[in-house]
Structure 1
């Protein structure tokens, strides 16, 4: 994989573009029983006329992969499906990976009850999490569960398809990608997240609102991205060469300052409601624009999720996601597969807004692509540690990805981000050695763990024991002092 750092202004490839069709591409999908990303991939590939091949679906729950096989092949028969793809579910991961050109990872190996524990137990100690999959006490324990799984995946890629491009969608994104590289340094892995897309869409909305023009596509918004996944920042943003910071300031004054919510006022809203109050508060205090949704941003700092009364959190325009929803939505998501095939609902192709097909296009030598992604730091964020996984822009060209230099994080933003970088690096070290006490060090250092030491230790103990079946084969419980 190309690893040199390009300029943040790089945006086009000098090599000639491919024009012929590419056939017989193999995609190995680990987590192929996915209810979310797989549905999107099936939709997007069916609308892609220039690449064709086979998607081999592996999931520990074979019936889930089999469902996606049926759905994928059914979609290929719909009117409007211009792609030529075959879907096959397999019971052995090796069969999905053998000779794969691309590997997609969107996994959730333990049942959703594990994430429920990681939300509910901290809440018993007065620590609330709006998502619970990246940082905070829940995100930390999720990382502890995930590191052994991703070590195993990386080793399998090394054995069966070492030259494949591996695209990860699983959270905690940073820890997943970092684990892949720690286990297999020569892996061609990238981490993709759409949070920055939403920020570009917001900035495009400001252009449409405050300029005498139709709202542009988010892809017309050029932004200098820097930070870590779900805690990414933008210090330069423009549309057709126009600096967008004056529009951000205007929106802050004319819209955001007048927004207010009382406890309970959002009870009827979606759990994913986002009123941008956290984003603009951080922007106003630190002078750099955050590029992730409020529900994610709030978990990286100690100021928004720590009131004595959890209903006060709604004052920031967000809702907590209850653990029951995490469990129930797994079943609710199945209807979008079954209902169209059963004739209960019409299937229509849609524009997903995701970029996996564009990434594949670029890596196969078609149109170059500049977008944000997660890669080990080779200097693209100059004041974060080498090899720590960071999120910046990168340029995809023929069988190559070049991360683009984004410069330094401003000093105070760096203070916020670097705590999490060091915690993530500590978790990687702990995960590879099985050291629970070292993992507790990262847990204790998380900004949301703002309770007395004795309570923090008890909470860690409760969390680890709640998901112990997914930890005990890889973590050293016998010699740990942090867990009873």
Structure 2
């Protein structure tokens, strides 16, 4: 087979390498072309050198090109994969820093909450630019695979306004299933069958079976509470499991910022999180992790290049959906996964226009969703609260309506639990002014926002958050890796 895959935001080095090697685990795909594009020429050349080394080491005819000219990369592409972060770590830092001044403590801040909503405002105009180029220069029946957050907002915009065949992809379901299989004592996650449905980062394991035996709430709670690690790291998720009756896919830290109950008071935050790793609830944890990862890659690049000389091990193909979807579409080997698509009746008690994440099957005919799913009422209520925020956020990003943007932020569950309307209005003004370089749709609103800030009487505070850690130096990271290696 010979076709072209374009990867936008290919400078996401680790993730691009994973997608690349996964796809090349499919024997029929050795003759394809990967077209990498990014706004950073520096990052592009670094990742291209790594992928070229992989091709050379495995003696493959695969072609790898790299260009900052996105349109050129998209020409003739059959598949387009996006893993962009508009504004990079600079804008992301504001997504965490500014809300903290108003008492809003986020662990990740890339899906909803104040940070996720502003992230969507930066991404959506760019996503629509992608879609315009895709419609004009890619293959006629091109499929757009979006890995970028905020997943639901980006996918919603690409489908409704970009008019491109789009599916959103995430690995939260797979990771949740691995946890469940482990606590239940399964030898492999393959022993676990499940239906997991909801919206991205708020999907719920509504039917669980281990080797065909149904697993109920009480058994699952007991299994998690008995686990020596998860009982400590996933306290909030376990509490939600006890109250809702079903387990959420998303990590302790992520889930905590989508709900109005666990991060609304600083003294409560430390009760529910765990500081052994960023993903369990640390303030700005993913920002710290991303910063350290970038610095590590820049410093230790020769090691990454050397590692790329090893043969591809097909047994280590990851459970990221992309390669399996492409394999099913091209070879008709059926794949079952969980995909982000427009609802259209798949989940009976969620809005029809929402982007849901639910089971589906892929073959030559495309992605075919399993319809007729009904969520438990508490799960549906939680999802609907986020969907309403997502809808307003998408419409604000398209229209450049700063008042609608403020209403979207106001209706966010955690923001509403922490901040007053006056604080929300000022916070959004501050974020729009700080991120004006990436928010062209709000250019008309920035002068007035800046003027309001100059006369505002709303008080703020400089606060690092309830559980903040400093970015570690390269020397500290090296020492930690050496200690882990010695211990292991």
* TM-score of the alignment, normalized to the shorter chain, above 0.5: yes
Select the residue among 238, 251, 261 that pairs with 1:293: 251
Select the residue among 372, 378, 401 that pairs with 1:435: 401
Select the residue among 291, 305, 312 that pairs with 1:327: 291
Q: Distance in 2 between matches of 1:477 and 1:132?
A: 24
Name the count of aligned residue pairs. 439
1:166 aligns with 2:144: yes
For 1:113-124, list aligned pairs within 5 A: 113-124=90-101
Select the residue among 358, 378, 399 that pairs with 1:412: 378
1:469 aligns with 2:432: no
Q: Distance in 1 between matches of 2:78 and 2:399?
A: 31
For 1:81-480, list aligned pairs within 5 A: 81=58, 84-161=61-138, 162-185=140-163, 187-207=164-184, 209=185, 215-216=187-188, 218-245=189-216, 247-252=219-224, 254-255=226-227, 259=231, 275-309=233-267, 312-313=270-271, 315=273, 318-322=281-285, 323-334=287-298, 337-341=301-305, 349=313, 350-405=316-371, 407-449=373-415, 450-473=418-441, 476-477=444-445
Q: Distance in 2 between matches of 1:101 and 1:464?
A: 36
Q: Is the 8 A contact 2:329 2:366 kept in 1?
A: yes
- What is the aligned-residue RMSD (CA, Å)? 2.6
Select the residue among 37, 56, 67 that pairs with 1:58: 37
With over 3 angstroms needed to count, the CA separation of the structure-2 counterparts of 1:428 and 1:175, relative to structure 1, is same
- Displacement, 1:66? 2.0
- Displacement, 1:472? 3.2
- Displacement, 1:96? 1.1
Q: Distance in 1 between matches of 2:80 and 2:342?
A: 18
Structure 1, unaligned runs of 5 or more: 1-22, 261-274
Q: Is the 8 A contact 1:116 1:326 kept in 2?
A: no
Q: Aligned with 1:71: secondary structure?
A: helix
Deviations 1:12-71 (A, max 9, x none): xxxxxxxxxxx2121011112222320212322343322131101111112212222211
- Displacement, 1:120? 1.1
With over 3 angstroms needed to count, the CA separation of the structure-2 counterparts of 1:399 and 1:365, relative to structure 1, is farther
Q: Aligned with 1:36: secondary structure?
A: helix
Q: Is the 8 A contact 2:433 2:446 kept in 1?
A: no
- Displacement, 1:296? 1.3
With over 3 angstroms needed to count, the CA separation of the structure-2 counterparts of 1:344 and 1:289, relative to structure 1, is closer
Q: Aligned with 1:130: secondary structure?
A: coil
Select the residue among 19, 22, 32 that pairs with 1:41: 19
Structure 1 partner of 2:460: none
- Displacement, 1:348? 7.3
Select the residue among 31, 52, 57 that pairs with 1:73: 52
With over 3 angstroms needed to count, the CA separation of the structure-2 counterparts of 1:395 and 1:324, relative to structure 1, is closer
TM-score, normalised relative to structure 2: 0.83
Q: Aligned with 1:302: secondary structure?
A: coil
With over 3 angstroms needed to count, the CA separation of the structure-2 counterparts of 1:172 and 1:301, relative to structure 1, is same
Question: Which structure's residues are more often helix, by fraction?
Answer: 2
Deviations 1:348-403 (A, max 9, x none): 75443323211111011331001001001111111111121110011101141111
- Displacement, 1:314? 5.4
Q: Aligned with 1:381: secondary structure?
A: coil
Q: Aligned with 1:333: secondary structure?
A: helix
TM-score, normalised relative to structure 1: 0.84
Q: Distance in 2 between matches of 1:45 and 1:413?
A: 35
Q: Aligned with 1:429: secondary structure?
A: helix
Q: Aligned with 1:301: secondary structure?
A: coil
